[in-house]
Structure 1
Amino acid sequence: MIRSGRAVRALLAAALATAGLTGLSSPTAQAAGETVHIALTTTDDSGGRHVTRGLEAQTPIAFEAGSGGDGTSITVDENTGYQTFTGGGASFTDTAAYLMKSSGALSQAARDATMKKLFSPTDGIGLSFVRNPMGGSDLARTGYTYDDIPAGQTDPSLGQFSIAHDLQDVLPLTKQARELNPDLTTVASPWTAPAWMKDSGQLNGGWLKAENYGTYADYFVKYLKAYRDQGVPVDYVTAQNEPTCCSGYPSMSWNGSGLAYFTKNELLPGLQSAGLSTKVLAHDWNWDTYDEYAAATVDDAEVRDHPNFGGIAWHGYGGDVAKQSAVHDRYPALDAFQTEHSGGTWIADQQREDMMNIIDYTRNWAKSVTKWSLAVDQNRGPHNGGCGTCDGLITVHNGDGSSGQVDYNIEYYTMGHLTKFVRPGATRIASTASSTVPNVAWRNPDGSKALIAYNGSGSAQPVTVNWGGQRFTYSLPARTSATFTW
Structure 2
Amino acid sequence: MPSDKQQEIYDAYYDESGAEYSIVRTHIGSCDFSVGEYSYAPTETSDLSNFTIDPDKDDIIPAIKKALSYNGDIKIFAAPWAPPGWMKYSGIRYGNGDGGGINAGSVSTTPNHMLPEYYPLYAKYFVEYLKAYKKEGIVFYSISLQNEAQNNPDWEACYWTIDSTIDFITNHLGPNLNAKGFQDVKLLVWDWDKQEGAIGKGNGFITFNETLLQSSAADYIDGIAFHWYGPLDIADEIVKRPTWAVDDFRNVAYFHQNHPTKLLIATEGCQEKGPWLNSVEPAKRYVFDMINDFKVGTTGWIDWNMVLNTSGGPLHRETNYCHAPIMVDTNTNDIIYNPAYYVFKHMSKTIRPNEVRIKTENTSRTYIKGDVTNSF
1:167 pairs with one of 57, 62, 70: 57
- 1:127 is matched by which residue type in structure 2? Y
Q: Does 1:293 align with 2:185?
A: no
Q: Does 1:335 align with 2:242?
A: no
Write the mapping of 1:157-236 to structure 2, written as runs, cut at 5 A. Answer: 157-205=47-95, 206-236=112-142
CA distance in 2, matches of 1:310, 1:421: 26
Structure ranking higher in strand proportion: 1
Shift of 1:138: 1.2
Query: Which residue of structure 2 aligns with residue 394 of structure 1?
Result: 326
Contact 2:32 2:155 in 1 (8 A): yes
2:9 pairs with one of 114, 117, 122: 114
Contact 1:190 1:238 in 2 (8 A): yes
Residue 373 of structure 1 aligns to a residue whose secondary structure is coil
Contact 1:340 1:371 in 2 (8 A): yes
Query: Which residue of structure 2 aligns with residue 422 of structure 1?
Result: 351
Higher relative contact order (CA 8 A, sep 6+): 1
Shift of 1:109: 2.4
- 1:131 is matched by which residue type in structure 2? R
Q: Does 1:313 align with 2:225?
A: yes
Shift of 1:292: 4.4
Gaps of 5+ in 1: 1-105, 434-467, 472-486
- 2:297 is matched by which residue type in structure 1? W
Query: Which residue of structure 2 aligns with residue 375 of structure 1?
Result: 307
Structure ranking higher in helix proportion: 2
Aligned-residue CA RMSD (Å): 2.1
CA distance in 1, matches of 2:219, 2:207: 21
Q: Does 1:238 align with 2:153?
A: no
Query: Which residue of structure 1 aligns with residue 218 of structure 2?
Result: 304
Query: Which residue of structure 2 aligns with residue 258 of structure 1?
Result: 164
CA distance in 1, matches of 2:329, 2:165: 40
Find the structure with the greater CA-based Rg. Answer: 1
Query: Which residue of structure 2 aligns with residue 344 of structure 1?
Result: 272
Contact 1:139 1:387 in 2 (8 A): no
Aligned length: 321
Shift of 1:175: 1.2
So what's the TM-score if we normalise by structure 1?
A: 0.63
CA distance in 1, matches of 2:168, 2:300: 25
Contact 1:140 1:383 in 2 (8 A): yes
CA distance in 2, matches of 1:339, 1:112: 25
CA distance in 1, matches of 2:336, 2:164: 43
Shift of 1:343: 2.0
Gaps of 5+ in 2: 96-111, 196-203, 231-244, 363-370
- 2:312 is matched by which residue type in structure 1? R
Q: Deviations over 1:303-336 (max 9, x none)?
A: 3334xx3211111113611101111211122121
Q: Does 1:134 align with 2:28?
A: yes
Q: CA, structure 1 residues 170+375, in 2 after alignment: closer, same or farther (shift >3 Å)?
A: same
- Percent identity among equivalent residues? 26
CA distance in 2, matches of 1:176, 1:298: 36
Contact 1:221 1:271 in 2 (8 A): yes
CA distance in 1, matches of 2:33, 2:52: 21
Contact 2:30 2:38 in 1 (8 A): yes
Q: Deviations over 1:17-46 (max 9, x none)?
A: xxxxxxxxxxxxxxxxxxxxxxxxxxxxxx
Query: Which residue of structure 2 aligns with residue 249 of structure 1?
Result: 155
So what's the TM-score if we normalise by structure 2?
A: 0.80
Residue 289 of structure 2 aligns to a residue whose secondary structure is helix
